[in-house]
Amino acid sequence: MLDLRKATDRGVANFGWLDSRHTFSFGHYHDPKQVGFSDLLVINDDRVEPGMGFGTHPHRDMEIFSYVLEGALEHKDSMGTGSVIHPGDVQMMSAGSGITHSEFNPSPAEGVHFLQIWILPDRQRVAPRYQQTHFADTEKRGRLRLIISPDAAEGSLGVYQDARVYAGLFDGAERAEFMLPTNRHAYLHVARGTLLINGIAMAAGDGARIRNAGALVFDGGNDAEVLLFDLRPRELPDR
């Protein structure tokens, strides 16, 4: 079963320098029917103006990853990490016992468009850690590439939770099938473009809670980029 959530139904926050869409309740946006799914707590679709960003702020006991779609995002944190994230890069920060960080658009002329995603960890007060790697388009073209997993399998980034995240690119005749076990939930987020999921049309910003679906067929894509979250069979995050 696919429970669709259209892009236009998401929460909106616009501060001038930041234009954000919230899939789940976040900040000033609260919807009691949209407070996460399984261990997935936040999907924020953010656009940041040139030279602007999020100043230094703290996190604790949260798995946070950023997925850049356009432009570049500069990261600095209290562990001494400094990096710039580009399209194709995936950044994972385990806040653990506590970390501060900032995220800025370093470009003086171009905006940055990225997804910031939070997953609840299965343990608390671990030592903070930072990971980043690049997944080329060829690895995601017409298939679902594992980018995050509990055991860092297949070159993916590690996450402190029984969750796996896949990224895929689909256009034209490209087609892929993903078999969701009966004892798992999933969440699908369309980052860009349009495509069909089991014959159901989805567009950029759309999402879907998935339960008891069996095979998921991805086809009919038009410049589509998707993230698929393979999650524990829970309805709401255990916070």
CATH number, domain with residue 186 = 2.60.120.10
Confirm whether 236 is domain-assigned: no
Q: What is the pLDDT of residues 11-47, one digit of tens each?
A: 999 999 999 999 999 999 999 999 999 999 999 999 9
Confirm whether 165 is domain-assigned: yes
Q: Based on the structure, what is the number of domains in the chain?
A: 1
Confirm whether 239 is domain-assigned: no
Mean pLDDT of the chain: 96
Residues 6 or more apart in contact with residue 129 via CB below 8 angstroms: 79, 93, 94, 96
Confirm whether 91 is domain-assigned: yes
Q: Beta strand 40-48 with 89-94: parallel, antiparallel or unpaired?
A: unpaired
pLDDT beyond 80 at 239 = no
Mean pLDDT of 134-149: 98
Confirm whether 35 is domain-assigned: yes
pLDDT beyond 90 at 238 = no
Write a three-state SS string for 149-191. Answer: ECCCHHHCEECCCCCEEEEEEEEECCCEEEECCCCCEEEEEEE
Share of the chain above pLDDT 90, in %: 95
Is the CB of residue 197 less than 8 Å from the CB of residue 209? no
Confirm whether 84 is domain-assigned: yes
d(CA 114, CA 19): 11
Instruction: Please give the sequence-ordered ranges of beta strands (E in DSSP) within 23-128, or none if there are none.
Output: 40-48, 53-59, 63-70, 73-77, 82-85, 89-94, 99-104, 112-119
Confirm whether 200 is domain-assigned: yes
**Domain residues for 137?**
2-231
Query: Cα dist. 120→41, 62, 107, 194, 233 in Å?
Result: 7, 5, 31, 29, 14
β-bridge partners, 231:
185
Q: Supply the Cα-derived Rg of the chain in whole angstroms.
A: 17
User: How many other β-carbons are positioned within 10 Å of the β-carbon of residue 139?
Assistant: 17
Indicate whether this model's pTM tops 0.85: yes
Q: What is the pLDDT of residues 180-191, one digit of tens each?
A: 988 999 999 999
Share of the chain above pLDDT 70, in %: 100
Mean pLDDT of 84-104: 96
d(CA 98, CA 34): 27
Confirm whether 69 is domain-assigned: yes
Mean pLDDT of 55-69: 96
